[in-house]
Amino acid sequence: MTRLSVNINKIATLRNARGGNIPNVQKAAVDCQNFGAEGITVHPRPDERHIRYQDVREIKSVIKTEYNIEGYPSRSFMNLVGEIKPDQVTLVPDPPDAITSSEGWNTIKCKSFLVEIIAELKEQVIRSSIFIDTNLKYIENALETGTDRIELYTEPYARNFPTDPEHAIAGFKEAAERALELGLGLNAGHDLSLENLKYFNDNIPGLLEVSIGHALIADALYYGLENTIQQYLRQLS
């Protein structure tokens, strides 16, 4: 069964909109874990507009499930990772002002930079994952960076799924098969939802983990957090 990691950034966004500590981000992380999530994902950005660096520290002390920190590997980010030592770090090529992730790494152009960052993670015994598009050359070059896994950027799949699921999934299936041939672990994330998750999971070989935030937290407004997490888990079973 593919593991579900819940990205709780949107809960922090809601808290920050009003100030104070409602909703409580740490409690939300624990609740997600208790409701069945097999991982918690956070994506701290330099302006701390949602998850704050202090949130990252405090969540570490209250969860027992897998902890995934994603983000652009600036020096401040890498210092935080070195302090927290999460189970996994997902490297994302976001500029500081990005609203959300919009593309994967060019592992050819950025190879030397990624090699250096991933070597630093390996020294700290932290599993690495590279956020990446379905470009097969980028996936093949990802192997040369030393990364443990790749995370497929699934927004193009989600955008095209409603009109043509077979076409939407085709490039992702090919990318997954190539990653497996190379011995790379396979994650996926971005705009996966209750509407498109099952089809993706059923058609992507070797999928280890999905990271889902925006759609899941939005669904929780209607269905409740526990019920929503259970619905997502059923899509992955």
State the catalytic residues.
43, 70, 190
Rounded (10°) CA dihedral 179, 184, 186, 189: -90
Backbone angles phi, psi at 3, to 5 degrees: -80, 145
Instruction: List the structure tokens of 121.
Output: 């993670």
Instruction: List the structure tokens of 151.
Output: 């995370």
Burial category of 163 from C-beta neighbours within 10 Å (exposed 0-12, middle 13-18, buried 19 and up): exposed
What is the distance of C-alpha 20 from the center of its chain?
Answer: 27
What's the CA gap between 80 and 229, in Å, rounded? 28
Cis status, amide bond into 93, omega within 30 of 0: no
